[in-house]
């Protein structure tokens, strides 16, 4: 009989959903009042000090101290009633706010800890406290993130192009058991746990229309989504920043990326419901014809593959693998229209 695992409770207030953005890229941020500078937790609509509604998310130090701890041996919540008792507690962040957090096993009262946001199955953000030295070693039974890539069976939509080859070698280095492509004879669909779409950079002037590419993705999703084992599966899209803000002198490429982004977001919603996840990378400039007029340095294929592997290991959802894409993300978050004009004014090739 197929074992159906429970997804932890996912209901969150709109204010609490603000944790998703920092969690997606591995940052730790808390709400801060723009009027009186009071740090807030839990996330809320109005400042707990002055009732101002001007609350903004700002990156914070990760440092905190454990105030209390408890192991949950029995829970009415099916997701927390597994063989391992979740270790939880209260931690006081350096700003003074107190958070409920999942504690790494060796954290106890009085310890200094580092806080991270991690995604639980289903995509909700939870706070995790770990000893500072073990900050990167974050494997936990209740979260799907980060999970080691060791022993995974992977499928690349194109294993022969430069990105496909770089991903193959990065995944095998990270311990993947098999990396298959469309022409692999030994590929076994029923055993695939990681799908990487490596073919979205294919020449936009080539013979395949955008409609055909979209249909190919939808067929792939139909083929794999039902058979990917719950909780274990991860789907990866390698796109470019044009998915989020068009590169004006490359309308075909930008449209292709925007379409792929829409497909990725739709598939992510579906996968989250079965406890799986989806990761998207948005590099600024790659070694492709369409990116030649973009300013700044070109990200190599091995660097992109390595950024994807790191994101998978750390449980991040959005990958901005180079300084330019991180800079654009900041501008996009702050003022989308200003970035649109900035990109429109970039010197033509
Ligand atoms: Zn205030």
> For the chain, what are the domain ranges?
16-134, 153-344
User: How would DSSP label each residue in 247-294?
Assistant: -TT-HHHHHHHHHHHHHHHHHHHHHHHTT-EEEEE--S-BSSGGGTTS
* Distance from the alpha carbon of residue 287 to the mean position of ligand 1, in angstroms: 48
Predicted pLDDT of residue 8: 81
Q: Give me ligand 1 centre to Cα 48, in Å.
A: 7
Residue 71 confidence (pLDDT):
87
Kindly give the distance from the C-alpha atom of residue 41 to the centroid of ligand 1, in angstroms, as a whole number.
13
Per-residue confidence (pLDDT) for residue 231, from 0 to 100: 64
- How many angstroms separate the alpha carbon of residue 236 from the centre of ligand 1? 40
Distance, CA 55 to ligand 1 centroid (Å)?
Answer: 8
Cα–ligand 1 centroid distance for 26 (angstroms): 27
Is residue 111 a contact partner of residue 90, using CB atoms and an 8 Å limit? Answer: no
Ligand 1 centroid to Cα of residue 28, in Å, is 20
Lowest mean pLDDT across 79-83, 102-106, 154-158, 241-245 = 79-83
39 SS3 class = strand
Reported as a single tens digit per residue, the pLDDT across 308-349 is: 999 999 889 999 999 999 999 999 999 999 999 999 987 654
Report pLDDT digits (tens) over 101-144: 999 867 899 999 999 999 988 889 999 999 986 544 544 444 44
How far does residue 258's CA lie from ligand 1's centre (Å)? 38
CA of 102 to the centre of ligand 1 (A): 28
Instruction: State how far the alpha carbon of 210 is from the alpha carbons of 170, 203, 214, 281, in Å.
Output: 29, 11, 6, 20
Phi, psi of 155, deg, nearest 5: -125, 125
Q: How far does residue 44's CA lie from ligand 1's centre (Å)? A: 12
| CB burial readout 295-317, b (16+ within 10 A) else e | eeebbebebbbbbbbbbbbbbbb
The CATH number assigned to the domain with range 16-134 reads 2.40.50
pLDDT at 62 over 70: yes
Q: Which of 19-28, 135-144, 238-247 has the lowest mean pLDDT?
A: 135-144
Tell me how far the alpha carbon of residue 53 lies from the centroid of ligand 1, in angstroms: 8
Assess if CATH 3.40.50.1110 describes domain 153-344: no
The confidence score (pLDDT) of residue 130 equals: 92
Q: Do domains 16-134 and 153-344 have the same CATH topology?
A: no
Average pLDDT over all residues of the chain: 89
pTM equals: 0.87
Handedness of CA 162, 238, 26, 320 (dihedral sign): positive
The whole-number pLDDT of residue 275 equals 86
Residue 273's pLDDT is: 87
C-alpha 340/C-alpha 254 separation (Å) is 13
- Residue 46 Cα to ligand 1 middle (Å): 8
Q: If residue 236 lies in a helix (H) or strand (E), which one and from where to where?
A: strand 234-238
Q: Say how many Å lie between the CA of residue 39 and the centre of ligand 1.
A: 8
* Cα 50 to averaged position of ligand 1 atoms, centre (Å): 4
Q: Is 114 helix (H, G, I), strand (E, B) or coil?
A: strand
Q: How far is the CA of 97 from the centre of ligand 1 (A)?
A: 14
Model confidence pLDDT, tens digit, residues 180-236: 999 998 888 889 999 999 999 987 767 788 999 999 999 999 999 888 766 678 999
Distance CA 299, CA 160 (A): 19
Query: 234 with 194: CB under 8 angstroms?
Result: yes
State mean pLDDT over 31-60.
Answer: 96
Query: What per-residue confidence (pLDDT) applies to 133?
Result: 62
Percentage of residues in the chain having pLDDT higher than 90: 71
State the DSSP code for 9: P
pLDDT per residue as tens digits for the range 259-288: 999 999 999 999 998 889 999 999 999 999
CA of 54 to the centre of ligand 1 (A): 8
Q: Confirm if 303 and 321 have CB atoms less than 8 A apart.
A: yes
Q: How far is ligand 1, taken at its centre, from the CA of residue 57, in Å?
A: 13
Q: How far is the C-alpha of 41 from the C-alpha of 167, rounded, in Å?
A: 40
- Residue 345: CB atoms within 10 Å: 9
pLDDT at residue 15 in the model? 93
């Amino acid at each position: 009989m197929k074992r159906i695992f429970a997804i932890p409770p996912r209901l969150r207030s709109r204010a609490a959903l603000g944790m998703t953005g920092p969690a997606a890229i591995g940052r730790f941020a808390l709400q801060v009042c723009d009027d009186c500078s009071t740090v807030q937790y839990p996330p809320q609509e109005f400042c707990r000090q002055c009732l101002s509604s001007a609350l903004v998310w700002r990156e914070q130090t990760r440092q905190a101290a454990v105030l209390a701890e408890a192991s949950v041996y029995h829970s009415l919540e099916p997701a927390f009633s597994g063989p391992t008792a979740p270790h939880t507690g209260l931690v006081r962040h350096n700003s003074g706010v107190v958070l409920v957090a999942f504690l790494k096993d060796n954290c106890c009262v009085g310890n200094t800890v580092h806080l991270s946001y991690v995604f639980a199955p289903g995509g909700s953000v939870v706070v995790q406290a770990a000893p500072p030295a073990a900050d990167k070693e974050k494997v936990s039974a209740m979260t799907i993130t980060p999970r080691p890539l060791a022993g995974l069976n992977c499928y690349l939509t194109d294993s022969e192009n430069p990105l496909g080859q770089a991903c193959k070698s990065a995944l095998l280095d990270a311990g993947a058991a098999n990396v298959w492509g469309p022409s692999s004879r030994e590929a076994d669909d029923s055993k695939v746990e990681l799908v990487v779409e490596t073919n979205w950079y294919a020449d936009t002037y080539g013979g395949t229309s955008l409609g055909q590419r979209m249909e190919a993705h939808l067929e792939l999703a139909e083929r794999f989504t039902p058979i990917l084992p719950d909780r274990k599966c991860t789907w990866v899209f390698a796109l470019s920043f044009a998915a989020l803000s068009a590169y004006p002198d490359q309308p075909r490429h930008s449209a292709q990326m925007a379409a792929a982004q829409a497909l990725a977001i739709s598939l992510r919603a579906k996968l989250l419901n079965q406890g799986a996840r989806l990761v998207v990378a948005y590099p600024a400039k790659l070694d492709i014809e369409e990116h030649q007029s973009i300013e700044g340095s070109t990200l190599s294929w091995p660097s992109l593959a390595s950024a994807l592997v790191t994101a998978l290991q750390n449980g991040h959802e959005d990958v901005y693998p180079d300084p330019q894409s991180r800079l654009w993300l900041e501008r996009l978050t702050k003022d989308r229209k200003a970035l649109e004009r900035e990109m429109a004014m970039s010197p033509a090739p």
